[in-house]
Amino acid sequence: MKKKVYNPYLPSYEYIPDGEPHAFGDRIYIYGSHDRFNGGDFCLNDYVCYSAPVTDLSDWQYEGVIFRKEQDIRNQNIPADAKHFKPSLPGVKITDPDEQLNAPGLHAMWAPDVVKGLDGRYYLYYCMDFLPEIGVAVCDTPAGSYEFLGLVKHADGTPLGTKEGDLIQFDPGIFIDDDDTIYLYSGNAPIREGVGKGPQGSTVMTLEEDMLTLKTEPKLLLPDVRNSKGTGYEGHEFFEASSIRKINGRYYFVYSSVQSHELCYAISDRPDEGYTFGGTIVDIGDVFLNGRTEKDSVACFGNTHGGIECADGKWYVFYHRQTNRTNYSRQGCAEQIHFDENGQIPQVEITSCGLNGGPLPANDAYPANICCHLNANGKTTYSNPMAMGMRYPYLTQDAKDVVPSEPGFPAEAQADAQFPVQYVTNFRNKNTIGFKYFDCKNVTGITLNVRGKASGQILVSTTPEGGLKKDKDSIIDSFDLKFQSDDWTVVSGNVSVPDGVQALYLTYYGLTGRFDIAQIGFICK
């Protein structure tokens, strides 16, 4: 029997954004960058990998660290006065370059991609923060210990990104076509006109069989804000995060648009040209879905990045969301997607159930962090402490960042007390938390595991607007909420939830107090 799985699909202490899913053999592997909880910048941890059987996406297993940032030659013996030195990184001290060199691993590794090469080995492509080149590592297995191979280079041996006229390399995507042609995609672009420094753009190139040497030079691929007029990409131009798949003979290019909080796609009959805009696949605030605008985002927004993959005949989009009021503690989520008769991908909504294959049974307790709707008085903002302040609820954890040490670590071990658990904090008057979807049968009550202070009422509704507008058609029930405790406490209310698949939204009304929510549970007949 398959276990229940929900968003985020990895343990709540894991912060793996930029997830690139790849099915190798009978398992699907997630390759992403690796944020640090409460970190001061993007991607501060080493690359790790999780995998699951393609037939059971509830059974995620920790594969361990696959590549350490100090393995890259550019991350060793860095002079403290180097131009690319980043003194803002936590714990880094500027020293006299004549007396001491900085410790290895100063540069963070950004979004990677992996491909099985023509020789049967696995090749990992990545960029390091603001450095101009693309690094490559290689391994005999999909999730083993990768070894640094080299930098992608021009035919004359000059590293790509360093020659005059080279564009900035960024978020590489790697793809080998059926004819064994090796395509490398790279680049970022201005998020709006007049913003951005240096030569930028979406590019594609091909590689020799050594997986390092350019066979053909980079050429521009997708339009960006500087040249998109009349292309159909307007408002959704390429920003970053190149990811490519071949599906039914056509090429699907997935990318993060200038909106930043959405993943879009483009389609072509060729891998290296002729792409037309397809649409939005997913947005982390459900923006654009059914006409929703950014001001009505269902959750705090920031960037997202990911890809699509097939597992056991079904296609999924993997993306990431924001937590902890920053852009630096991002978590992977996923949703099933579908293709219409024309090969288009309709936008999917973000849900709590994600990879579960259907609604979650309303007969158990669930972590509150599986919420897919979290805002204040129907509004939210950019995931940043300056923007959010303490005006909005958000996701966080009590303990410091952790990384499991042993491969084979099962995802369900997040319930072990030695690992931190993520929860909702700063829940206040007219805040709403929402979950999609639960399969409700004979539900007579709802329980909440809470701490803090509350004195008010919870309205339970089936629409996000129901609790705020007190819409009689969508309000299911209500219950009083009154407690004061610094310890986690289970409270309950009598709520008669109609049978069937339901979205559930809880809106709090209370003039004083704020509290944390760790779990939501159900009482059934």
Per-residue pLDDT, averaged over 423-429, amounts to 97
pLDDT tens, residue by residue, 234-288: 999 999 999 999 999 999 999 999 999 999 999 999 999 999 999 999 999 999 9
Determine which one of 46, 63, 224, 240 is catalytic.
240
Q: How does residue 87 score in pLDDT terms, banded at 50, 70 and 90?
A: very low
Q: 335-351, pLDDT tens digit by residue? A: 999 999 999 999 999 99
Same domain (yes/no): 356, 367: no
Q: What is the largest CA-CA distance in the chain?
A: 74
Contact assessment for residue 433 and residue 352, using Cβ atoms and an 8 Å cutoff: no
**From the CB of residue 401, how many other CB atoms can be counted at a distance below 10 Å?**
18
Helix (H) or strand (E) holding 185: strand 182-186
Runs of H (alpha helix) within 371-428: 385-388
Same domain, 315 and 175: yes
The model carries a pTM of 0.94
Contact yes or no for 318/334 (Cβ under 8 A): yes
Percent of the chain at pLDDT > 70 equals: 92
Confidence check: pLDDT of 95 > 50? no
Residue 17 has pLDDT above 50, yes or no: yes
pLDDT-based confidence at 421, cuts 50/70/90?
Answer: confident
Do 406 and 327 share a domain, yes or no?
no
Tell me the two tokens of residue 135.
């690094």
Q: Is 268 found in the same domain as 133?
A: yes
Same domain, residue pair 502 and 512: yes
CA atoms within 13 A on the CB side of 167: 22
Q: Which two tokens stand for residue 244?
A: 């490519």
Q: Looking at 2-16, 28-42, 125-139, 403-417, which range is the least confident one?
A: 403-417
Task: Please state which of the ranges 12-26, 73-87, 386-400 shows the lowest mean pLDDT.
Answer: 73-87
Q: Are residues 386 and 306 in the same domain?
A: no
Confidence of residue 81 (pLDDT cuts 50, 70, 90): low
Is residue 514's pLDDT more than 80? yes
Q: Which residues of 291-309 are buried (b: 16+ CB within 10 A; e: fewer)?
A: eeeeebbbbbbbbbbbbbb
Number of domains in the chain: 2
| CATH number where 379 lies | 2.60.120.260
Structure tokens at 450: 């809470």
> Are both 333 and 427 inside the same structural domain?
no
**In which domain, by residue range, is 441 found?**
362-524
DSSP assignment of 80-107, as one string? TT-TT--TTSTT-----TTT-PBPS--S
Mean pLDDT of the chain: 92
Q: How far is CA 144 from the centre of its chain?
A: 23
pLDDT of residue 98: 37
Please check the confidence at residue 429 and state whether its pLDDT lies above 80: yes
Does residue 240 have an active-site annotation? Answer: yes
State the pLDDT at residue 279: 98
Distance CA 152, CA 100 (A): 30
Final residue of a structural domain among 360, 392, 421: 360
Q: Confirm whether 3 is domain-assigned.
A: no
Q: Which residue has 């099915």 as its token pair?
A: 23
pLDDT at 494 over 50: yes
In angstroms, how far is CA 95 from the centroid of its own chain? 36
Same domain, 262 and 403: no
**E strand segments, 87-166:** 113-116, 122-126, 135-139, 147-151
Are residue 346 and residue 435 in the same domain, yes or no? no
The pLDDT assigned to 409 comes to: 62
Residue 363 predicted with pLDDT over 60: yes
Annotated catalytic residue within 14, 18, 46, 272:
18
Above 60 in pLDDT, residue 80?
A: no
Determine the 3-state secondary structure of 520 from DSSP: strand
CA distance 488 to 445: 19
| Listed residue (256, 224, 254) closest to 240, CA to CA | 256
295-338 pLDDT, tens per residue? 999 999 999 999 999 999 999 999 999 999 999 999 999 999 99
Domain boundary among 345, 360, 375: 360
Q: What is the pLDDT of residues 180-234, one digit of tens each?
A: 999 999 999 999 987 776 789 999 999 999 999 999 999 999 999 999 999 999 9
**Which pLDDT score is estimated for 193?**
84
CATH number of the domain that 131 lies in? 2.115.10.20
Domain final residue, candidates 319, 342, 360: 360
pLDDT category of residue 88 using cuts at 50, 70 and 90: very low
> Does any domain span residue 8?
no
CA atoms within 13 A on the CB side of 181: 12
Q: Which residue has the tokens 């920003």?
A: 239
Count CB atoms within 10 A of the CB of residue 244: 23
Question: Which residue type sits at 334?
Answer: A
Q: Per the structure block, which two tokens stand in for 68?
A: 């350490």
Q: Are residues 421 and 487 in the same domain?
A: yes
Tell me: do 386 and 353 sit in the same domain: no
Instruction: Give residue 419's pLDDT.
Output: 73
